[in-house]
Structure 1
Amino acid sequence: MTRPARALAGLLAATALVLAGCGADTPAPAAGGDPTGTVTVFAAASLTESFTALGRRFEADHPGTTVTFNFAGSSALATQITQGAPADVFASAAPRNMATVTDAGHAAGTPAVFARNQLVIAVPEGNPQRVVGLADLTRPGLKVALCAAQVPCGAAATTALDAAGVRLTPVTLEQDVKGALAKVKLGEVDAALVYRTDARSADLDVDGVEFPESARAVNDCPIVVLADAPNPNAARAFVELVRSAPGRAALTDAGFQPPSGS
């Protein structure tokens, strides 16, 4: 090898070492294989207990991963995503709020329905007001909490009340189902329309009263990997867990119903 050729070879080797050293500090995300790193999941408030448990399972199944949750009303989460909030996965309590995200081009693929949820009337433990149906919520002096109309539990409540021909004026409109449930737990209202799963999660403090009109207002819960996911590999793995047999078992235990046709 001539002297100029040896010099050029040395320069190329040195350049390769420098580039390799830079890459060691900031590795590119793996295109496949075992998930690593942090996966950020934006999920409806009604999924808090079940998804928290699934997050722990995911971390145990995939050492080196961390699941970070942002639980809130689905409408608020959809707004955050469309305004650029970084997230890997979106799980909504209803298709309408998922459509806000997909219509804006923020979904990587087609959302999949992974569970269904249904309303009950949450009342303090022991049901001191003897509430047995929606019509009872119109009694004079009885204080009721509902979710705001743009929130899935609020939209479902409107559908159920319309089906029953009941008109009532709530004392508060909450931004997510946990807010409505908290009003009952704190004794600030006599009843609230919440999801069956939320009433079950607070069964030491509240009772859930079933009512027939809730069958007219069952919400499908869709999930999707987001188009700008910082960690798409882990995002896909988390969605797979939610839709797997163990994931469905965890959701069923929490009171969710399986997707239609499954």
Structure 2
Amino acid sequence: MRQRIRVVVAALVVAVPALAGCGGGTTAPAADGGPRGTLTVFAAASLTESFTTLGRRFEAEYPGTTVTFNFAGSSALATQITQGAPADVFASAAPTNMTTVTDAGHAAGTPTVFARNQLVIAVPQGNPQRLAGLADLTRPGLKVALCAAQVPCGAAATTALDAAGVRVTPVTLEQDVKGALAKVKLGEVDAALVYRTDARAADREVDGIEFAESARAGNDYPIVVLADAPNPTAARAFVALVRSTAGQAVLTDAGFQPPAGP
């Protein structure tokens, strides 16, 4: 019976270089040259739903494989990788965090952009504050959550707010987009700037309000096989799946945009 995909909590893998030599027997290809064993993917938190779907598809296509995900903010993942955390694939929500990994010599080859994402204003379902755009986030007493500046969703929010000429004082700065969204879902804030895909995944609890400046703050998502990948055969196969027609269909259904053409 196919094993369940295991999702790793980011905080548990910050200091795991010593694990790199453990868990033997996960890197050898199957007799037909295909992947087998455990594949570890470090991916931006905004990819949680779509990559979990792709992980199940990967395990079904390659019996004998198990996909383990570490979903977190891209900046935290980049730090973990450069500090020696064992992983096979890195998918970032922005090129900046990918550059941290490539500049440190941890990428096997050149990263490829596989998707784009844009921000929306997430509000409780029904939009009780009747927000319509970024300027409304400056209303007195309105509680707003943003991602921290070093996180891709935070950098995108800064770009969008600057484009609108709006200054917002958030009541909280979250370390990934799921954290910002959770504040809305829990009723702790009136609004948050999150990715369109995250608002869509939570559409039973929140509404996503589109705003024009979002188009000027889109994020490219690059992916790469890591240089010290314990399972490079499976890593290459997973990246191929993400970039395939089937993989792009899953991402599009989640609300991602296709990568820009050359």
Fold shared per TM-score above 0.5 = yes
C-alpha distance in structure 1 between counterparts of 2:49 and 2:43, whole Å = 11
Unaligned runs of 5+ in 2: 1-23
Q: What per-residue deviation string (whole Å, max 9, x for no partner) do you get for residues 68-92 of structure 1?
A: 0000000000000000000000000
C-alpha distance in structure 1 between counterparts of 2:154 and 2:66, whole Å = 32
Match of 2:101 in 1: 101
Q: What per-residue deviation string (whole Å, max 9, x for no partner) do you get for residues 123-144 of structure 1?
A: 0000000000000000000000
Offset at 1:29? 2.1
Offset at 1:168? 1.0
Structural mapping, 1:98-177, within 5 Å: 98-177=98-177
Q: In structure 2, do the counterparts of structure 1 residues 91 and 138 end up closer, same or farther at CA, with 3 Å as the change threshold? A: same
Match of 1:185 in 2: 185
Corresponding letter in the other structure for 1:131: L
**Secondary structure at the residue paired with 1:85?**
coil
Match of 2:76 in 1: 76
**Secondary structure at the residue paired with 1:90?**
strand
Matched, 1:232 2:232: yes
Q: What per-residue deviation string (whole Å, max 9, x for no partner) do you get for residues 181-214 of structure 1?
A: 0000000000000000000000000000000000
Offset at 1:261? 1.2
Corresponding letter in the other structure for 1:35: P
C-alpha distance in structure 2 between counterparts of 1:249 and 1:193, whole Å = 25
Offset at 1:27? 8.7
Matched, 1:259 2:247: no
Structural mapping, 1:8-87, within 5 Å: 29-30=28-29, 33-87=33-87
Match of 2:213 in 1: 213
Corresponding letter in the other structure for 2:222: P
Q: In structure 2, do the counterparts of structure 1 residues 204 and 105 end up closer, same or farther at CA, with 3 Å as the change threshold? A: same
**Secondary structure at the residue paired with 1:34?**
coil
Corresponding letter in the other structure for 1:34: G
TM-score, length basis structure 1: 0.89
C-alpha distance in structure 2 between counterparts of 1:174 and 1:164, whole Å = 22
Match of 1:200 in 2: 200
Q: In structure 2, do the counterparts of structure 1 residues 89 and 215 end up closer, same or farther at CA, with 3 Å as the change threshold? A: same
Match of 1:4 in 2: none
C-alpha distance in structure 2 between counterparts of 1:213 and 1:28, whole Å = 45
C-alpha distance in structure 1 between counterparts of 2:47 and 2:33, whole Å = 27
**Secondary structure at the residue paired with 1:159?**
helix
Offset at 1:30? 3.3
C-alpha distance in structure 1 between counterparts of 2:125 and 2:98, whole Å = 34
Question: Between the two proteins, what is the percent identity of the paired residues?
Answer: 85
Q: In structure 2, do the counterparts of structure 1 residues 125 and 144 end up closer, same or farther at CA, with 3 Å as the change threshold? A: same
Unaligned runs of 5+ in 1: 1-24
Task: Work out whether residues 123 and 191 of structure 2, in 8 Å CA contact, stay in contact via their aligned partners in 1.
Answer: yes
Offset at 1:119? 0.2
C-alpha distance in structure 1 between counterparts of 2:255 and 2:70, whole Å = 21
CA RMSD of aligned residues (A): 1.4
Q: What per-residue deviation string (whole Å, max 9, x for no partner) do you get for residues 93-135 of structure 1?
A: 0000000000000000000000000000000000000000000
**Secondary structure at the residue paired with 2:55?**
helix
**Secondary structure at the residue paired with 2:75?**
helix
Corresponding letter in the other structure for 2:218: V
C-alpha distance in structure 1 between counterparts of 2:191 and 2:27, whole Å = 51
Match of 2:21 in 1: none
Q: Structure 1 residues 30-39 or 177-186, which shifts more?
A: 30-39
C-alpha distance in structure 2 between counterparts of 1:35 and 1:245, whole Å = 20
